Structure 1
């Protein structure tokens, strides 16, 4: 009996170890669009309380990501192609992502992961993948030393082809954790 258990454990360990970043990106790349609710908790060093934001996220491959914050105040950020548009209080501002390497890297961390674009993610981050298809963790450490001083690490967690959490650690000790709950079944490529 012990030999069977050891054999089964070894086989399971070998299967989990053979699961790679290419496997994850392949799974994620099949999802063409999706919508989700989010709740984000931001711990800010200068504040005694945690800030809480909630709203909706939507994604359309390969390059459209929309974050619409509904609480505590309406705000909308749309990353589409090489542009980022922010709407707050009735005012809209659009900027080229190329003008802000920090914004470009953060958008590519999420958008590149959601679209399964390994090259886009690895252009900005060193990657470490742990877990299996059923429960994975992807750690991203910025390649750019200046950016790493501002954002030392982004950690994403998910299940199969669904991103379920994004945690961003800031260089000043602030931290943001966004929990994501899908609203609709993701649309997959044929």
Structure 2
């Protein structure tokens, strides 16, 4: 083998090594790169994949003037597009069911039926939850300015009321989640009160 052939083979071998190294570095870069950040429409499309579900919740309500939070726990259920049920089990049994524009409250053996049309501030609160759970961006944007941060592995949705009647009572809401699951809801009220809800997907007792 001539010296020229040897040199050519060495160069070809080095070229192959460099190519493999470059490919490995590119692959490592892709694996290390952060997941694609979500915008509002992408988050809504992700959430819309889940048409129904049930979850357990714990909630702490922090009220000005009280030393500690008011604790409650229970079960949430949702059926798209607009049925939302909250059953509080502790500290005392009560339930709230919303479907369409009808709100049904049950406590202590008494039931009361109300129309959300007559309470735009309460309707806005319901749409914050139902709009998020159903992936309905137009419903959210009727009542809130929305800002999404994060990716499909961990996201937050910050909502600031634009409806005056709602803005007079609620300063902001933050919903957080993983994939198509909502895992937390934080609300700050005008006056300093706030509530923090933690949500665990799955039926009670699971």
Q: Using structure 2 for the length normalisation, give the TM-score.
A: 0.82
With 147-156 and 69-78 compared, the bigger mean Cα shift is at 147-156
Give how far 1:16 is off. 2.7
Is the 8 Å Cα contact of residues 120 and 165 (structure 2) preserved in structure 1?
no
Is the 8 Å Cα contact of residues 106 and 112 (structure 2) preserved in structure 1?
yes
**Superposition RMSD in Å:** 1.9
Correspondence list, 1:12-27, <5 A: 12-13=33-34, 16-17=36-37, 19-27=38-46
Counterpart in the other structure of 1:82: 101
Of residues 141, 162, 180, the one that matches 1:143 is 162
Distance in 2 (alpha carbons) for counterparts of 1:108 and 1:162: 17
Q: How many residues align?
A: 179
Counterpart in the other structure of 1:187: none
Find runs of 4+ consecutive structure 1 residues off by over 2 angstroms: none
Counterpart in the other structure of 2:29: 8
Counterpart in the other structure of 2:141: 122
Report whether the alignment pairs 1:71 with 2:90.
Answer: yes
Is the 8 Å Cα contact of residues 121 and 165 (structure 2) preserved in structure 1?
no
Give how far 1:27 is off. 1.0
Give how far 1:51 is off. 0.5
Correspondence list, 1:34-113, <5 A: 34-113=53-132
Higher radius of gyration, 1 or 2: 2
Structure 1 unaligned residues grouped into runs of 5+ = 185-190
Is the 8 Å Cα contact of residues 177 and 184 (structure 2) preserved in structure 1?
yes
Distance in 1 (alpha carbons) for counterparts of 2:39 and 2:159: 15
Name the SS for the 1:8 alignment partner: helix
Distance in 1 (alpha carbons) for counterparts of 2:106 and 2:199: 22
Report whether the alignment pairs 1:134 with 2:153.
Answer: yes
Q: Using structure 1 for the length normalisation, give the TM-score.
A: 0.89
- Does 1 or 2 have the higher relative contact order (CA < 8 Å, sep 6+)? 1
Normalized per residue, the structure richer in strand is 1
